[in-house]
Amino acid sequence: LQTRLQAGQGYGNTLKCVLTVYRNESLTGFFKGMSFPLASIGIYSSVVFGVFSNTQRFLSQLRHGDPAAAPSLADMTLASLVAGVISVGIGTPVELVKIRLQMQTQPYTKANAKLNSTAPGSPVYRGPIHCLRTILQKEGIPGIYRGNVAMLLRDVPGYCAYFVPYAMFCDWITPHGSIAPNPFSIWVAGGVAGAVSWAVCTPMDVVKSRLQADGVYSNQYKGTIDCMLQSYQNEGLKVFFRGLLVNTIRGFPSSAAMFLGYELSLKAMKRCQSETNP
């Protein structure tokens, strides 16, 4: 839904988008492009959380001489920035393939755009591997990283609005005197962090989605700035908030589960390590 609302034509609001997708593509339309992100989400999340945690430990070691020392707000912010930069290298190709698969059957109505040989509305890619191979053959390595600047501008502030609110909200709702937050506190704090992060990310997420969807049938945008200017000129400021409701709603449960799984996994591994090496 998010991609269709941000880069598609004629979907209107969220409810209309849901009804249109279901009417035209049945339930399978809601799961287009799912396989590639599903196969790579474990690697992507482990890299992002690993970079964030290890950067915090490195900064604590530099500042306090103890990697286990509580990180400051500045340390968390810097670690979030580093995680955001690293995430783009892995996330851009995955996002590109997902969006191309989701948008390949959408009608294209821009009359003055230079259309590719394939007729708009007909499938271009047979699946994620074929999509990736086709982009590499036609556009090379730069094609795989189409939209990487927009994704960088999305993820760097986005991860600051992800990890920092999580830590702050987790501390706030953890009962006084507790050594560590309980699972419910982790779940709520993670959900709030996800919703806040996606609210911050949505404007650049719109630009990224449009840049990556561009190229299936057309070549409309010359780059990030051109995409922002064309989008604003054609649809006004409101265009940068397309998909905001969908992003914030989905951000809560997905991030809540992510943080809960991360924290519980860490506790389990630390417990196993202490039992193995008492």
Q: What domains does the chain contain, in order, with CATH numbers?
A: 33-141 (no CATH), 146-277 (1.50.40.10)
Q: Is 248 left (phi over 0), alpha (psi -120 to 50) or beta?
A: alpha
d(CA 49, CA 51): 6
> Mean pLDDT for each consecutive 10-residue tract of the chain (278 residues)?
68 72 71 70 89 93 84 92 94 89 63 43 73 88 91 95 93 77 90 94 93 76 92 92 89 93 88 70
Q: Which residues lie closer than 8 Å to 239 by C-beta, 6 or more apart?
A: 206, 231, 232
Please tell me the predicted confidence (pLDDT) of residue 1: 64
pLDDT given at position 109: 46
Residue 197 · residue 81 · CB < 8 Å: no
Model pLDDT, residue 240: 93
> What is the number of other CB atoms lying within 10 angstroms of the CB of residue 14?
18
The pLDDT of residue 111 is 40
How much is the pLDDT for 86?
Answer: 94
pTM over 0.85: no
What pLDDT sits at residue 26? 72
Amino acid at residue number 245: L
pLDDT at residue 128, rounded to an integer: 83
Number of neighbours of residue 258 by Cβ within 10 angstroms: 20
